Amino acid sequence: MGHEETVYDALDHAHGGEGQWAFGTGFDDPLAGVDTTVPEGIDPADLGAYCLMLGDDALVLCQRLTQWVTNAPELEEEVALANCGLDLLGQARLLLARAGSVGVLGRSRTLATDPVPDEDALAYFRDPDEFRSSWLVAAPNGDFGQTVVRLLAASAWRLALFARLRESRDPVLAAIAAKGVPELTYHRDHAARWVLRLGDGTAESHRRAQAGVDTVWPLLADLFTATDVEARLAATGVAVDPAQLRDEVRGVLTLVLERATLTVPAWPAEQPSRGRAGEPGPELTALLADLQGLARAHPDAVW
């Protein structure tokens, strides 16, 4: 019985001898069959920029969560964090594909090869200063206590946003938000249970959870100040003014921390988002080097 020379030969033959691009070809278009027409009166550039903000947040936090695979304190939690990451990866694919559908590709398309889907071109071939993720998601994981506090904060904010985006005038964005709400509800509740367990646990787990809170809290400063893009789109019913999320998110975080016997820090002074403005910070630059390294080293790779 004959055998393939290598496993790569076998994979290639399984697809009829047609090479598949290693990072995307062969996957279904996530927006296949969806009407991606931009609603009347909406600037496509603004819509694309907004989808980049939300898609980049999901992509970057996904990468942070996957760093716990093989490192989490227990196997069940390793699977849970990986599942949260996969949910966020799905949201990132849809949001980046939506950004691509309105023409937000630019330099990333010229660096990628033709078969690369829009969402992959945007994920792998933009430089750090072209990303629009918040500093909250780009921050290092720290220990497990800090990770679950960050996940609680990020998912509480994102869930409050997505719940409102279900009414967006852009039907694609509304559908993405509707799909994401149950996922984000699980992320928030899973993180909250861990914060309660750690905060109201041993002296050491309490100390670490409090240290995580104290580290994460300043990163909330730029989540509730609208960029010009968000302000314009909120005025037309496409986006949500992040200031509208403040009371809900603060209420959720305060409730969880108080029940976990943790000290709630003073709310940080709010400021314009540096991440949204294209100031990536060294943490994001290092993270993207890992995320994008293989695709950039082998842009024409096939399997």
CA–CA distance, 134 with 122 (Å, rounded to integer): 17
Of 241, 120, 239, 146, nearest to 198 by C-alpha is 146
Of 218, 76, 79, nearest to 149 by C-alpha is 218
Neighbours of 76 (CB within 10 A): 9
CA–CA distance, 113 with 133 (Å, rounded to integer): 25
3-state secondary structure of 21: strand
For residue 18, what pLDDT is reported? 45
The class level of CATH for 41-295 reads mainly alpha
CA–CA distance, 172 with 168 (Å, rounded to integer): 9
Q: What letter does residue 3 receive in the DSSP assignment?
A: -
CA–CA distance, 69 with 75 (Å, rounded to integer): 9
91 contacts 178 by C-beta, under 8 angstroms: no
191 contacts 87 by C-beta, under 8 angstroms: no
11 contacts 303 by C-beta, under 8 angstroms: yes
Phi–psi pair at 23, nearest 5 degrees: -115, 5
Q: What letter does residue 73 receive in the DSSP assignment?
A: S
CA–CA distance, 140 with 126 (Å, rounded to integer): 21
Q: Residue 145 pairs with which residues in a beta bridge?
A: none
For residue 225, what pLDDT is reported? 96
Report field, pTM of the whole predicted structure over 0.85:
yes
CA geometry: angle at 158 spanning 201 and 100, to 5°? 140
Of 85, 97, 130, nearest to 24 by C-alpha is 97
User: Residue 288 belongs to what H/E stretch?
Assistant: helix 281-297
Q: What is the pLDDT tens value at each position of the chain, 303 positions in all? A: 444 444 334 334 444 444 444 444 445 677 777 788 999 999 999 999 999 999 999 999 999 999 999 998 888 999 999 999 999 999 999 999 999 999 888 666 666 655 677 888 899 999 999 999 999 999 999 999 999 999 999 999 999 999 999 999 999 999 999 999 999 999 999 999 999 999 999 999 999 999 999 999 999 999 999 999 999 999 999 999 999 999 999 999 999 999 999 999 999 999 999 999 999 988 999 999 999 998 888 877 765
For residue 4, what pLDDT is reported? 41
Is residue 30 exposed (0-12), middle (13-18) or buried (19+ Cβ within 10 Å)? middle
Structural domain spans, the chain? 41-295
